[in-house]
Amino acid sequence: MTHRRVIIIRNAAASDFGGGERFPVFLAEALKGSDYEPYIISGSKRLLDFAASRQISHQRGWWWSRQQWSGRASLLFPFYCIWQCILTVYYLCVFIKLRPVVVHPQGKDDFIAATIAARLIGARVIWTDHADLKHIWLNLSIWYKNPIGKLIYYVATLASAITVVSKSELALITKHLPARAHIRKRLVVVYNGVVDSSAEHPLTLQKDGIVRFISASRLVTDKGIGELIDAFLALHTRHPQTELVLAGDGPDEAQFHTQAGNHPAIIFRGYVTNPLEAISAADIYVHPTYHEGFSVALVEASMLEKPIIATSVGGNTEIISNEKTGLLVPAKHPEALEKAMERLLKDAAFRKQLGSNARVQFLSNFEFNHIVHSQFIPLYKGDHV
């Protein structure tokens, strides 16, 4: 079999390693066994280390950490254009060497440079948006605002398809586009699933009578970690046989340590490359974020048959059906979060039912091998667009 190379490009800040950063590796793994050969390019050391741990071919790419170009920074647009020219030449040299048939960029800078370079060598281009385009395409109709967004909008016409991670993201993106924009026809929802690895992570609950809650995310304010700590501290006063595990790191970690006050029942696990082991060892998964495009962590918890509590925002409502596959609560509402945590704490049978339902839904909607072969590969071939 002759394998056709797909180059997957994803860059991120050094502190970011969530679902959007793990997605390229999951995609590459799912492509194995097809007639496509995946190859990852990234400037993220964490992503590259993760790719190496899963035996995915990869190389370090170029990425400019400066990503804020709005307001007064828009005056630096000429320098951004120079950077894009340099990056385009870089990608052109890489693509000539690797000869991909498909280039799959997943970030603002790469949408421009990688797309132009790919089209110059005749490769097909598929974009995946990890909840960025709703911001990138703000103010398209105001001539003096957001020049980079306008540049990405024009380059988008060179992409064969643009996949977005949820229906809620699609709605947020399209409201910024002109009514007759041809780009609308290129937009397609493809969920970020995960390959079923539940057999590799069997249930490992400790038989010590403690009910463990876990959240696996970046430790930043808008992930709702502060509300989760407040909710748990209130819950723990009435139910001391509980524990909260926070898996991840981030720029706001110090303030959360201060908020937790060295409480012995709040465990900061720090950065973990693959959180499945930690999730498997917990009883209940909690995702209290303020906003969400699509949470891979929720899909992973569903795969592992965990009962879930999540905020009713963005793509969360497309993964969690309230009272059926989890509980939904308002964002920024520690009292509602505490109430949901206490409900699941007290009702083991309900926890088991929610987890079982979540697992069934995962197999139907979010198993990534199926998603890749039924949706991404047809896009690579041009069958759907």
Q: How many H-runs (helices) and E-runs (strands) does the chain carry?
A: 16, 13
> Taking the CB of residue 73, how many other CB atoms lie within 10 A of it?
13
Any idea which residue has 């643009």 for tokens?
162
What's the confidence (pLDDT) of residue 303? 97
What's the confidence (pLDDT) of residue 3? 80
Domain ranges of the chain: 4-195+367-381, 198-366
Rounded to 5 degrees, φ, ψ at 249 are: -140, 180
What's the confidence (pLDDT) of residue 70? 79
The domain 198-366 belongs to what CATH superfamily?
A: Glycogen Phosphorylase B; (3.40.50.2000)
Task: Indicate the SS3 state at residue 351.
Answer: helix
Q: Which run of H or E residues covers position 270?
A: strand 266-270
pLDDT tens, N- to C-terminus, the chain (385 residues): 568 999 999 998 887 888 889 999 999 999 988 999 999 999 999 999 999 999 999 999 999 988 888 778 888 899 999 999 999 999 999 999 999 999 999 999 999 999 999 999 999 999 999 999 999 999 888 888 889 999 999 999 999 999 999 999 999 999 989 988 999 999 999 999 998 999 988 766 667 789 999 999 999 999 999 999 999 999 999 999 999 999 999 999 999 999 999 999 999 999 988 889 999 999 999 999 999 999 999 999 999 999 999 999 999 999 999 999 999 999 999 999 999 999 999 999 999 999 999 999 999 999 999 999 999 999 999 875 4
Measure the CA–CA gap between 231 and 336, rounded to whole angstroms.
8
Q: Using alpha carbons, list the distances in angstroms from residue 225 to 212, 219, 237, 255, 280.
A: 16, 7, 19, 10, 20
- Residue 323 carries which DSSP code? T
Q: Considering the entire predicted model, what is its pTM? A: 0.91
Question: Which of 69, 80, 65 lies closest to 15, judged by CA?
Answer: 65
Residue 5 in contact with residue 98, Cβ under 8 Å?
yes
CB neighbour class for 72 (10 Å; exposed up to 12, middle 13-18, buried from 19): exposed
What's the confidence (pLDDT) of residue 15? 79
Strands 58-60 and 36-42, sheet pairing: parallel
Q: Which two tokens stand for residue 76?
A: 């630096």
Q: Which run of H or E residues covers position 76?
A: none
Torsion angle (degrees, nearest 10) of CA 83, 124, 379, 370: -80
Measure the CA–CA gap between 63 and 209, rounded to whole angstroms.
48
Q: Using alpha carbons, list the distances in angstroms from residue 335 to 228, 232, 288, 331.
A: 10, 10, 12, 10
Topology at the third CATH level for domain 4-195+367-381: Rossmann fold (3.40.50)
Any idea which residue has 């974009």 for tokens?
127
Maximum CA extent, the chain = 64
What's the confidence (pLDDT) of residue 206? 67
